[in-house]
Structure 1
């Protein structure tokens, strides 16, 4: 299975984002689609998820979420296999359990304690960031932000993420003028290019997290590797997966 490995720099943390190739789904979900809510054949999605499980160390069980751009955070070790809670972040301190969020332009974030004693994955679209999903994740996990490393997976880049002035105003009202640096004017006075990763990094820095690594990949620009809802409309979903490796 082709993946983009996460650079968290912690030997016992295994994390990555899947690429869109080498799966079972037909167009327009071709081919490694994990989204069971986008109109794909359920059998193809099941086949793709089973392939992921086989590719994980120890064929680890994966905990999936029903993501709603909110701020709920689930504890993976409290989720029964087959249960799919409504949440936009999930964490665990137990080895051998895989956590997943799905994206097709939103920013996937992997967070991990520097000692490898906990890991989390976060689904961070602009609505979730504005609502406080990053802050909510740190209210849930047992770690200290100053002893945390973060990795940003592929997401829509500032080159492609045009938003209305109302989105900029939401961030300025919630987080102050520090958020302004993540918005660049366009020729249209009512439109801005938003830096989703920059907005997330701003929130992490405010919490005291300095060790942030950004994959730097734009899902819109790299159509051969990534799904993009902004580019294609009806499309599949990548998975960003993280786990603590068993000893």
Structure 2
């Protein structure tokens, strides 16, 4: 298990790939990797076993709880500190101040962003597609936090050269933030552009006072040996980005 370096002591952040030593076999070639999503027509028992395997990986760091959610490309964020009733959470952001509680976010081209404060007592995890970035998922998640985040880490997402969008998407951002013209390159077709999700997220994070932004150097679309990609293969699995505060108990 690999973790992001350069974070406050006791904070563990990372992202799964299509590989895992305890990956269950699949009869569907498009889901043959370490899929962690229940909504992609995979065998639910297989997915749950993958999730349990991941929890087992985390146990040596004091993790005894993982929270997943039904992600909806929204700006909804929840603070999760206590045990939840058996109800599915909907939204795209999670915050906790509780040690030993892993926050999980699934992606396959959208941008996962992890946030945390300077002293390692509060963390957040969010799912940011272009709609979420435009509508305020970063801002809403930071507002949900009790302390100001000082760092962020961006997991694997689709890179600019592979992310073609229409002019209406570009206008959505540039009408709100004129400075984001630099995050778009003209495409080969009229009215088409290539969007840089990493650059957009960095700009918004900086506006919110988050000056240390790590990651943002992977491409889920081109790195087929590491990541699932919805744009590359519409029928595919999902990776999970995680963050937790190590429990000393």
2:238 maps to 1:237: yes
TM-score after normalising by structure 2: 0.93
Count how many residue pairs are aligned between Structure 1 and Structure 2. Answer: 242
Question: What is the aligned partner in structure 2 of residue 117 from structure 1?
Answer: 121
1:42 and 1:231 map into 2 onto residues whose CA distance is 23
TM-score after normalising by structure 1: 0.94
Specify every segment of 5 or more residues in structure 1 that has no aligned partner in the other structure, as ranges. none
Displacement of 1:7: 3.7
In structure 2, the CA distance between the partners of 1:81 and 1:50, relative to structure 1 (3 Å rule), is farther
In structure 2, the CA distance between the partners of 1:82 and 1:225, relative to structure 1 (3 Å rule), is farther
Question: What is the aligned partner in structure 2 of residue 24 from structure 1?
Answer: 24
Question: What is the aligned partner in structure 1 of residue 227 from structure 2?
Answer: 226
Which runs of structure 1 show a deviation greater than 2 angstroms over 4 or more consecutive aligned residues?
A: 5-8, 57-60, 81-84
1:79 and 1:201 map into 2 onto residues whose CA distance is 33
1:192 and 1:166 map into 2 onto residues whose CA distance is 10
**Aligned to 1:33, which of 32, 35, 44?**
35
User: 1:91 touches 1:141 (CA, 8 Å); kept in 2?
Assistant: yes
Question: What is the aligned partner in structure 1 of residue 205 from structure 2?
Answer: 204
User: 1:21 touches 1:30 (CA, 8 Å); kept in 2?
Assistant: no
Displacement of 1:10: 1.2
Question: What is the aligned partner in structure 1 of residue 112 from structure 2?
Answer: 108
Q: Structure 2 matches for 1:131-210, cutoff 5 A?
A: 131-145=135-149, 148-173=150-175, 175-210=176-211
Let me know the Cα RMSD of the aligned residues: 1.4
